[in-house]
Amino acid sequence: MKNKREDRFEAIVDQFVKNDLIAQEEYSYYLYGVKHLEVLIMTTGGVLLSGILLKEILFTVVFLITFSLLRIGWQGIHAKTKIRCFCYSLLLFLSGIYVKKQVVRSIDLFSQAVFMGSMLIILLLTALWKYKIDGKLNELKRCFWILGGVSLAIVLDIFVKSEAVMCGIGYSCFAMILLWFISMVRTKE
């Protein structure tokens, strides 16, 4: 039994087909994309709103950009439902703000750089380990995608010299490793 939201998504894609914007054969791909866009807007909007309300805008933006780059390279870690995805995303982000406040309060900038560097090394080693397990060339390409995305973030951090930027990059790396570990545990069950 379909709900109104499903009907609305189908109506949007039907309109694309009707206006010859997409071929009928691609209908299912676009329907999936529209459904995914809803989750993306919901989670990104929730995280951005939380960051604005908690006055952590720079950390929020850096976290979202870095985490998105990592997520693209890493591919799917799915929470199964939209509500669960939203709640997990918000909880992960809010815990990141808490971690940032603890790190900034108790550690100097050099120690933060060492922390972020170690997170990057762990992230890259994790990606390489994933490649070794799966043995696919796509996994190796993802390793380079991840390394490239995070390297761009580090270059940004060098020029900005901000604790919020450094913590956003470091925590997004940590969050990606954590989510990958959770997905590995869940698939073995």
pLDDT in tens, 145-160: 666 766 666 666 666 6
Confidence of residue 139 (pLDDT cuts 50, 70, 90): low
Concatenating the DSSP letter of every residue in the chain gives ---HHHHHHHHHHHHHHHTTSS-GGGHHHHHHHHHHHHHHHHHHHHHHHHHHHTT-HHHHHHHHHHHHHHHHHH-----SSHHHHHHHHHHHHHHHHHHHHHHHHHS-HHHHHHHHHHHHHHHHHHHHHHHHHH--HHHHHHHHHHHHHHHHHHHHHHHH--HHHHHHHHHHHHHHHHHHHHHHHHHH-
**Same-domain pairing of 19 and 70:** no
Spatial separation of the C-alpha atoms in residues 141 and 74, rounded to whole Å: 10
Give the tokens for residue 112: 């933060």
| Residue 20 confidence (pLDDT) | 83
The Cα-based distances of 176 to 126, 131, 137, 160, 179 in angstroms read 10, 16, 21, 23, 5
- Calculate the average pLDDT of the chain: 75
Total of domains in the chain = 2
40 lies in the same domain as 62: no
Domain co-membership, 26 together with 67: no
88 is a domain residue: no
72 and 159 both lie in a single domain: yes
Instruction: Mark whether 27 and 64 lie in a shared domain.
Output: no
Domain check: are 105 and 181 in the same one? yes
For position 74, what pLDDT does the model report? 65
Clarify whether residues 67 and 150 are in a common domain.
Answer: yes
pTM of the model: 0.67
Q: Do 119 and 174 form a contact (C-beta atoms < 8 A)? A: yes
Question: Distances from the Cα of 71 to the Cαs of 10, 173, 180, in angstroms?
Answer: 27, 10, 10
Task: Establish if 91 belongs to a structural domain.
Answer: no
Domain that residue 15 falls in: 1-53
